[in-house]
Amino acid sequence: MKTGWRAEVARSGVRASKVFPTKREAQDWASRKEYEILNGTKVATKMALRDLFDRYSREVSSKKRGFRWEALRLERWGKSDLGSKRLDDLEPSTFAAWRDARLLEVAPATVRREMILMGSVFSVARREWGLVGDSPLSDVRKPQEPAARDRLPTKKELERLELSAGSDLETATARAYHAFLFAGETAMRAGEVIGMK
The CB density around residue 36, as the number of other CB atoms within 10 Å, is: 19
| 95 located within any domain | yes
Report the candidate in 183, 104, 111 with the shortest Cα–Cα distance to residue 146.
Answer: 111
The tens digit of pLDDT for each residue in 155-181 reads: 898 889 888 888 888 888 888 888 888
Max mean pLDDT range (2-6, 91-95, 125-129):
91-95
Establish if 18 belongs to a structural domain: yes
Domain coverage including residue 30: 5-46
122's CB contacts (< 8 A; 6+ apart) are: 132, 135, 136, 137
Q: Is residue 146 part of a domain?
A: no
Contacts of 153 (CB under 8 A, 6+ apart): 161, 184
Same domain, 21 and 69: no
CA distances from 139 to 92, 96, 115, 116 (A): 6, 9, 12, 13
**How many of the other CB atoms lie within 10 Å of CB of 15?**
9
Which one is predicted more confidently, 33 or 56? 56
Does the predicted TM-score (pTM) go above 0.85?
Answer: no
pLDDT digits (tens, 9 = 90+) for 74-98: 999 999 998 898 888 888 999 999 9
pLDDT confidence band for 1 (50 / 70 / 90): very low
Q: What are the tens digits of pLDDT across the range 104-117? A: 999 998 999 999 99
The reply to whether 29 and 18 lie within a common domain is yes
Number of C-beta neighbours around residue 94 at 10 A: 17
